[in-house]
Structure 1
């Protein structure tokens, strides 16, 4: 590959890594970003039963599933199936972009030195995948930060990500339980008040 002209290398990579365009989280990415990602992808095989992410462990890579099935299990036991075209470790994308100019807040936010996983991702079958290491992803996002700050891209990342979908489901469940408790207390206090009047 290294002996070919750069444009030929790029065309070969685009052909070999066609699956990257199937990954929903990258659907809105520009061709130049996809080319930069493809240059840094490394092939990896995971055996059935092994884990690619551990709850409480460092998130050091994004894993793009080409063939096979995985399962993501959150802290609350929420399970999300993953298969061809899915990706895990995508929270690295936010980590790489996290600074005061992108995620504005009243106080200046400092990017953490590392990110810990709040879920475990295990292989249900043997899995063929391509891996993008945190250092490589950070390099790509710094090169194309302007494009990745786009609100449309940010929303697509959150909407299509199993990580963010799981987080949203947990938030909704917590809010629903809290509302149910409040309604139950209100009904109980009304019943007690009626008993006192009688």
Structure 2
């Protein structure tokens, strides 16, 4: 820690950073050290055997991910793939995660801390709305329709400003990772793939089934009038 702190101080001096930015860097480094004790958790987990890594990610992330309604419909393997791609992020107080009008560059699932989201609805006069986020909440959901659209290219614009009130620990899902998960989600729910896998897994009854498909076939030797 001392060596890292010394290197950071030397770098800030070399770059002639102003005092207010230096203080923000110091606060962040102190918070990161308290949370990780110098251990890169993502690297540590990624180096573990696949089945152990999956179980750890399920324990840490699954409950958070399942709070998003659309994710409840996902295949278990896709949920595991999503959890595997989540990265732990830390924020100190009064940090802007995204500002209204900026590109949305990640979806965040809050593990600990408190945030405030605000919107002026595109700068409308006399319009202001604010919502508090806490552990178990998420933000950056503008990425979902973007990721589910196979023809989308440019990242969506944030409709809200998200700022931390306290220190925040969260998991983040990057746009490219979400796009990959969404493409696999569409693939698994295509009729062709459902037919391919019908012999290996129980088929789900669609939301709207023609009445004839739900009727029990007649017994051999019986007529429908009987």
The TM-score bracket by the shorter chain reads: 0.5 to 0.7
Shift of 1:97: 1.1
Corresponding residue for 2:146? 95
Q: Can you give the 5+ residue segments of structure 1 that lack an aligned partner in the other structure?
A: 100-109, 150-198
Q: Secondary structure at the match of 2:182?
A: helix
Instruction: Provide TM-score, normalisation by structure 1.
Output: 0.62
Q: Provide, for residues 50-98 of structure 1, a one-character-per-residue CA deviation record: whole Å limited to 9, x for no partner.
A: 1111111110100110001111111231111111111100110111112
- Distance change in 2, residues 1:48/1:22 (3 Å): farther
Shift of 1:24: 4.2
User: 1:2 & 1:134 partners in 2: Cα distance?
Assistant: 20
Which structure: larger Rg? 2
**Could you say which structure has the greater relative contact order, defined with CA pairs below 8 angstroms and 6 or more residues apart?**
1
Q: Provide, for residues 79-122 of structure 1, a one-character-per-residue CA deviation record: whole Å limited to 9, x for no partner.
A: 111111111001101111125xxxxxxxxxx5352211121011
Instruction: Provide TM-score, normalisation by structure 2.
Output: 0.55
Q: Can you give the 5+ residue segments of structure 2 that lack an aligned partner in the other structure?
A: 1-44, 121-126, 191-226
Pick from 128, 142, 145 the counterpart of residue 169 of structure 2: 128
Corresponding residue pairs, total:
139
Shift of 1:125: 0.9
Shift of 1:36: 0.9
Pick from 108, 112, 115 the counterpart of residue 156 of structure 2: 115
Contact residue 43 and residue 131 of structure 1 kept, 8 A: yes
